[in-house]
Amino acid sequence: MKHVDARALVGQAFAEALRPPEALTPSQWAARNLFVPDGPHAGRLIDLKLAPYLVEPLDMLGPESPANEIAVMKSAQTGFTLVLLAALGFLIDRAPCNAMLIQPTSSAAADFNRGKLEPAIKACAALKRKVAPQTSRSTEGSTTHTKRFRGGSLTLAIASSAADLRSKTIKVLLRDEIDEYDDDLDGQGDPLKISDGRLISFLASADWRKADVSTPTIKGGSKIERRFEAGDQRRWRVPCPHCGGEFTFEFGDKFRFEKQPPYKAHYVAPCCGVIIEAHEKRELVAHGRWVATAARPGAYPSYAFDSLSSPFIPWDTIAAEYLSAEDDPQRLKVFHNLMLGLPYEMRGDAPAHSQLMERREDELKRGHVPPQGLVLIATADVQMRGIWTTILAFAPNRESWVVDAFYVDGSTENPGSLHDAPDSDNAFSRMLQKTIGREFPDAFGRMRQLDALGIDSGYRSHVVYATVRANQRLNPSTGNGMIFALDGRDGWGRPAMGTPRSVDIYLNGARMPNGVHLWPVGTWPIKSAFYADLRQSGRRAGAEVDPPGYCHFPAWLDDAFFRQITAEYIAEEKFRGRVRKSWKQRAGQKDNHYLDCYVYALALFEFLGLARMAPPELAAFARERGVPSDTPLFPGWLTSNAALAAEASDPYAADSLDERLGRLMKTNNEAFGRAEGVGA
């Protein structure tokens, strides 16, 4: 038996312990340790050969990087979330320090933790060994919002919490989807500048890292656009397979496709005119490289990348998305942001109010629901005395009809009830009686009730809260419909309706904890889309059809209504040391109540999700509302997606109308990350 020298073994063990770990870049570490947490490649080690454009931005976040910060302006489905995930994994395993990852909302932070970070930690032996488990009862254990490890910690913060952003000194700052951050956080400043302050202790030593990653929103109002343009503006250039020249895939006259499926999308190389077929894209992208287009002293690396170069999105899909957007400004904005990774140029000019008056329709009766109006939404704008109210009907393609619009005079100092006397001076009660307590005849001989009522809580907030709480269900006889307390929010990156929060009600010296849900509404993007809808031409102007989002106005509406809905415009203003685009009221126009009502109604329409219904369910939903099968709900309805032919396969055929609408609201609650149902 061979003799083993114990001293040699001990010496070897000490030598191995003292040997410095192999030097790895973040991308090399990821290739060995990071398992994809979700998607079609979930559970596999990340293969950066599939997305070589991720390597350079990721390595820029390593300790040997020549840059302290980067910015990435990108489209959806490009993989850049994995850059943040890999950077965090490398940091925990190889360069421990205090770091912070900021998400725009609490639901986004929870999704990142639950859907990406936790699975990545559990799948990687090195990370699982080093990150303290959440089950630990000591103060050293991890939590949902903090991951602790030897040498540092990771804080998962949300951009809407000033306390989170000011919480601690950090060395690495990663910020995701910054275009969704507020411009001003509760009057305390820009969340980007607040969080920048967490790095101040490391500025002198230049030993800090920062990354901003986001899909852009609107041109002139996009935070990631500003960050990209402040950098050296790198773009992914691919080699021409014919002449060897280099170019970047861009959406324009070089990207060509047919208008009907199969779209046969292809690209014409700008260098020599050779045709590049869709199946060649992946190979060309694999051999591409980043090229700075605005290199200059002091400019940090900034990257722009979109779906034309993404190996995960076929060119035919991009063509189909563009064609489906047509002239719909909302869909075009989504296409520019999510497919092209570009900010969208929003127009903020409404047509002259006199032009809108000229297109009023004599055949529309006040208080009557038009044939295509599947949902009926009322919104109210509360003032010191009196309430302005609109009732709108919507088709699935966002076409809208003004069913009624009125001002209710009366006191707004106390909550209202549907059961107050009709001659009561309480404006809330009178508004409820003209909305909740009312039925509307439709074009098919039926009587309809409201599907939703939203009340702006910007004025008399607690009176609004109490009124909403006391009238949770719109229609007492059926239990159908919902009433919402709404809170309009400024900013271009906000969703139509965000996650609600429970608020206390203070009234008559009493406090009711968590008395009602308050729903934030992103008014700025909706307002811009509404003005784009107003500029559209319909059949009355000679168009073949009324386009998606077209607004129908009855003849009984007066001059004041049209002046109010066109009362604002987009202007540039100086805000906290920078120029931004915001909404301003026109000189001489003091009232904009009907504009606010219309914007809130569009937000509720988006929330109800009618436009996202599957064709079979939408067809059945229309049938239950009394719409004959041969009545077009919008141009192309009878043929689009074989909607009527698919009715037989409707999986919800036995459901009642109330069950369908209830499921619609429940689905949207889940889709938007809602806290809990308003009517619970």
> Are residues 156 and 86 located together in one domain of the fold?
yes
Which residues form the domain of 39? Answer: 26-239+291-311
The yes-or-no verdict on residue 116 having pLDDT over 90 is yes
The pLDDT confidence band at residue 643, using thresholds 50, 70 and 90, is: very low
> Are residues 234 and 370 located together in one domain of the fold?
no
pLDDT at 662: 62
Number of domains in the chain: 2
pLDDT tens for residues 343-374?
Answer: 998 877 888 999 999 999 999 999 999 999 99
> Are residues 51 and 157 located together in one domain of the fold?
yes
Among 358, 357, 330, 365, smallest CA distance to 344 is for 330
- Give the H or E element holding residue 381: strand 375-382
Region 473-500: what's the mean pLDDT?
78
The pLDDT confidence band at residue 256, using thresholds 50, 70 and 90, is: very high
The pLDDT confidence band at residue 333, using thresholds 50, 70 and 90, is: confident
What the block records as the tokens of 247 is 């170019």
What stretches of 219-336 show up as alpha helix (H) in DSSP? 223-230, 281-286, 315-325, 329-334
The yes-or-no verdict on residue 645 having pLDDT over 50 is no
- Give the H or E element holding residue 235: strand 234-239
The yes-or-no verdict on residue 306 having pLDDT over 90 is yes
List Cα–Cα distances, 329 to 217, 347, 531, in angstroms: 13, 10, 10
R_g of the chain, CA atoms, integer Å: 28
> Are residues 450 and 554 located together in one domain of the fold?
yes
- Give the H or E element holding residue 490: none
> Are residues 298 and 368 located together in one domain of the fold?
no
Region 436-441: what's the mean pLDDT?
93
List Cα–Cα distances, 373 to 323, 363, 394, 621, 680, in angstroms: 25, 15, 5, 12, 28
Contact indicator for 146, 155 with CB cutoff of 8 Å: yes
What the block records as the tokens of 48 is 């950066």
pLDDT at 494: 83
What's the angle, vertex CA 368, arms to CA 367 and CA 370, rounded to 5?
Answer: 140
Tell whether 106 is covered by a domain.
yes
The pLDDT confidence band at residue 17, using thresholds 50, 70 and 90, is: very low
The yes-or-no verdict on residue 187 having pLDDT over 90 is no
* One-letter amino acid for residue 670 of the chain: E
The pLDDT confidence band at residue 621, using thresholds 50, 70 and 90, is: confident
The yes-or-no verdict on residue 150 having pLDDT over 80 is yes
Higher pLDDT, 214 or 347: 214
Going through 293-374 in order, the beta strands assigned E by DSSP cover 302-305
Region 288-313: what's the mean pLDDT?
96
Share of the chain above pLDDT 90, in %: 63
What stretches of 113-218 show up as alpha helix (H) in DSSP? 118-123, 125-130, 162-165, 191-196
In angstroms, the CA 277 to CA 265 distance is 7
pLDDT at 679: 29
In angstroms, the CA 640 to CA 644 distance is 9
Region 134-151: what's the mean pLDDT?
76
Looking up residue 114, the CATH number of its domain turns out to be: 3.40.50.300
Per the prediction, the chain carries an average pLDDT of: 87
Could you tell me the maximum CA-CA distance found in the chain, to the nearest angstrom? 108
- Give the H or E element holding residue 364: none
Tell whether 448 is covered by a domain.
yes
Residue where a domain stops, chosen among 277, 311, 345: 311
pLDDT at 21: 65
In angstroms, the CA 107 to CA 112 distance is 9
Pairing of strands 152-158, 98-103: parallel
Q: Taking phi first (over 0 means left), then psi (-120 to 50 degrees means alpha), and beta for anything else, what does residue 326 get?
A: left
10 Å CB burial of residue 401 (0-12, 13-18, 19+) is buried
Tell whether 169 is covered by a domain.
yes
The pLDDT confidence band at residue 479, using thresholds 50, 70 and 90, is: very low
The yes-or-no verdict on residue 404 having pLDDT over 80 is yes
What stretches of 274-313 show up as alpha helix (H) in DSSP? 281-286
In angstroms, the CA 549 to CA 395 distance is 9
Among 259, 257, 258, 261, smallest CA distance to 641 is for 261
* 210 backbone dihedrals φ, ψ, rounded to 5°: -145, 140
* 476 backbone dihedrals φ, ψ, rounded to 5°: -55, -30
Contact indicator for 236, 341 with CB cutoff of 8 Å: no
pLDDT at 234: 98
What's the angle, vertex CA 529, arms to CA 465 and CA 190, rounded to 5?
Answer: 65
* One-letter amino acid for residue 174 of the chain: L
Tell whether 272 is covered by a domain.
no
10 Å CB burial of residue 3 (0-12, 13-18, 19+) is exposed
10 Å CB burial of residue 542 (0-12, 13-18, 19+) is exposed
DSSP of 639-667, one letter per residue? TGGGTTGGGGG-TTTT--HHHHHHHHHHH
Which residue's entry shows tokens 């009624």? 404
Contact indicator for 481, 475 with CB cutoff of 8 Å: yes
pLDDT tens for residues 518-575?
Answer: 999 999 989 989 999 999 999 988 888 898 899 999 999 999 999 999 999 888 777 7
- Nearest 10 degrees: CA dihedral of 338, 344, 348, 352? -90
Share of the chain above pLDDT 70, in %: 88
The pLDDT confidence band at residue 53, using thresholds 50, 70 and 90, is: very high
10 Å CB burial of residue 214 (0-12, 13-18, 19+) is buried
Tell whether 54 is covered by a domain.
yes
pLDDT at 677: 32
Under DSSP, is residue 222 helix (H, G, I), strand (E, B) or coil?
Answer: coil
Q: How many CA atoms lie within 13 A of 100 on its CB side?
A: 25
What the block records as the tokens of 338 is 């999510």
Tell whether 316 is covered by a domain.
no
> Are residues 403 and 498 located together in one domain of the fold?
yes
Among 495, 489, 456, 668, smallest CA distance to 105 is for 495
In angstroms, the CA 345 to CA 464 distance is 36
pLDDT at 137: 54
> Are residues 75 and 181 located together in one domain of the fold?
yes
What the block records as the tokens of 43 is 């559970």
pLDDT tens for residues 571-608?
Answer: 877 776 677 788 889 888 889 999 999 999 999 999 99
Tell whether 4 is covered by a domain.
no
> Are residues 302 and 425 located together in one domain of the fold?
no
pLDDT tens for residues 20-31?
Answer: 567 899 999 999
- Nearest 10 degrees: CA dihedral of 223, 229, 233, 238? 70
pLDDT at 518: 95
pLDDT at 221: 83
pLDDT at 354: 94
pLDDT at 678: 29
In angstroms, the CA 625 to CA 646 distance is 18
Spell out the residues 6+ positions from residue 520 whose beta carbon is closer than 8 angstroms to its own. 487, 489, 494, 497, 498, 499, 500
Cis-peptide into 262, omega within 30 deg: yes
Region 506-511: what's the mean pLDDT?
89
Pairing of strands 275-277, 266-268: antiparallel
What the block records as the tokens of 269 is 């190389």
Looking up residue 452, the CATH number of its domain turns out to be: 3.30.420
Tell whether 173 is covered by a domain.
yes
> Are residues 166 and 297 located together in one domain of the fold?
yes
Contact indicator for 333, 346 with CB cutoff of 8 Å: yes
Higher pLDDT, 401 or 43: 401
> Are residues 234 and 383 located together in one domain of the fold?
no
Under DSSP, is residue 373 helix (H, G, I), strand (E, B) or coil?
Answer: coil
Contact indicator for 148, 156 with CB cutoff of 8 Å: no
First to last CA, the chain: 77
Region 230-238: what's the mean pLDDT?
98
Region 412-441: what's the mean pLDDT?
91
pLDDT at 655: 57
